[in-house]
Amino acid sequence: MHIMQTALTDSAKEAAYILNSGGVVAFPTETVYGLGAGIDNPEAIRQLFHAKGRPGDNPLIVHIYSLEQLPDVADDINQSARLLIERFFPGPLTLVLKKNQRVPYSVTAGLETVGVRCPANPLAREFLSYCSSPVAAPSANLSGLPSATSWETVYEDLQGKINAVLRGKPSAIGLESTIVDCSCSVPILLRAGAITLEQLQAVLPAIIVNTPTDTQEAPKSPGLKYPHYAPKASIRLLQTNDTITTGPSSGYIGLSAPPEGVLLFKICHDLEEYGRELFSFFRHCDALGINVIYCELPANKGIGRAIRDRLIRASESH
Ligand code: AMP
Ligand code: MG
């Protein structure tokens, strides 16, 4: 592939200038780093898929900086969507809505719907406000690897393949956005995230949880069928009270004390820290050549639901 110089910048204005000139630019958000291209620029969208090695049938989330831009990307905002927008925008929530004709099918992977998010991170909003169109952005990592939660990780994965990285702080949440499909009459939770099912139920008591099956003809959220979040090491899930014998090259992350004999461990004080540290811990283990990572499986509630989801999917990738 064509190797390009990847600029590192701390200026939202400069990063937006590069995007507005047709570039592919990574930027920080509160969930994970995003890899952006203008939705009106088909060549940049093509390069974005290419740089990540992302399959073309995995749709991108469109990022807006304010609700003023919503009519540019989505039509038919129903009552469920309105309630969620009022309560959770800007923030770590993506809504799937009927797409506006301005959004190309290359962004939605041929779907009539579009994922829309308005991030809360101030640098992300400043960057998006300088961009001349809404910005399509998947996570800024090589496809299949854990999402990048720091600019250094973005650079490691995508250096030479993208035009620029806007350097911000490490992601405050560290897990990808919650996704709710509001394009049909009953809202559906497609992906768990920092906005929890319990918080969503408080606003929309009728919300249902998507349970994907292999036999589903058209998966509700196409990207969910791909392996995700996986480090090179294999992931072993630990339930409370499991006793294990660790090998010589293993790691551990969780809330409880680590098993004896692990080479590297991270004890998190709460689930928020667990979510924030998970992907960077995976990457740290890979850098040290660790081949098994033991991960404590949290209960299926609150943000624990999102951590479980990522852990289970990472454990199924090998
Ligand atoms: P990423 O930004 O890498 O976390 O990937 C975005 C994910 O959002 C995709 O893998 C899909 O699962 C989901 N997504 C984006 N747009 C849609 C849509 N129109 N309908 C359903 N899911 C979507
Ligand atoms: Mg991703």
Q: How far apart are the first and last CA of the chain?
A: 28
Q: Given the DSSP bridges, would you call strands 250-254 and 292-296 parallel, antiparallel or unpaired?
A: parallel
CA of residue 229 relative to chain centroid, distance: 10
96 touches ligand 1 (CB under 6 Å): yes
| CATH 3.20.20.210 is the classification of domain 7-209 | no
- By alpha-carbon position, which residue is closest to atom 11 of ligand 1? 223
Q: Do domains 7-209 and 234-315 have the same CATH topology?
A: no
- Candidate from 30, 61, 99 with most ligand 1 atoms within 8 A of CB, to mutate: 61
pLDDT value at residue 225: 63
173 C-alpha vs ligand 2 centroid, how far in Å? Answer: 15
* Sequence ranges of the domains in the chain: 7-209, 234-315
177 touches ligand 1 (CB under 6 Å): no
- Candidate from 39, 188, 190 with most ligand 1 atoms within 8 A of CB, to mutate: 190
pLDDT value at residue 229: 75
Distance separating alpha carbons of residues 29 and 40, to the nearest angstrom: 22
Question: What one-character-per-residue DSSP string does 226-290 give?
Answer: S--S--SSEEEEE-TT------SSEEEEESSPPPTT-SEEEE-SSHHHHHHHHHHHHHHHHHTT-
Superfamily of domain 234-315: Threonylcarbamoyl-AMP synthase, C-terminal domain (3.40.50.11030)
- By alpha-carbon position, which residue is closest to atom 20 of ligand 1? 221
Ligand 1 nearest atom to the CA of residue 226, by list position: 10
52 C-alpha vs ligand 2 centroid, how far in Å? Answer: 9
Ligand 1 nearest atom to the CA of residue 223, by list position: 10
- By alpha-carbon position, which residue is closest to atom 9 of ligand 1? 223
pLDDT value at residue 162: 98
Contacts (Cβ under 8 Å, ≥6 apart) of 166: 9, 10, 11, 12, 15, 25, 26, 27, 28, 123, 127, 151
- Candidate from 135, 191, 225 with most ligand 1 atoms within 8 A of CB, to mutate: 191
113 touches ligand 1 (CB under 6 Å): yes
* Residue-level pLDDT, tens digit, the chain, 318 residues: 567 899 999 999 999 999 999 999 999 999 999 999 999 999 999 999 999 999 999 999 999 999 999 999 999 999 999 999 999 999 999 999 999 999 999 999 999 999 999 999 999 999 999 999 999 999 999 998 999 999 999 999 999 999 999 999 999 999 999 999 999 999 999 999 999 999 999 999 999 998 765 444 455 666 666 666 789 999 999 986 667 777 778 999 999 999 888 999 999 999 999 999 999 999 999 999 999 999 999 999 999 999 999 999 999 876
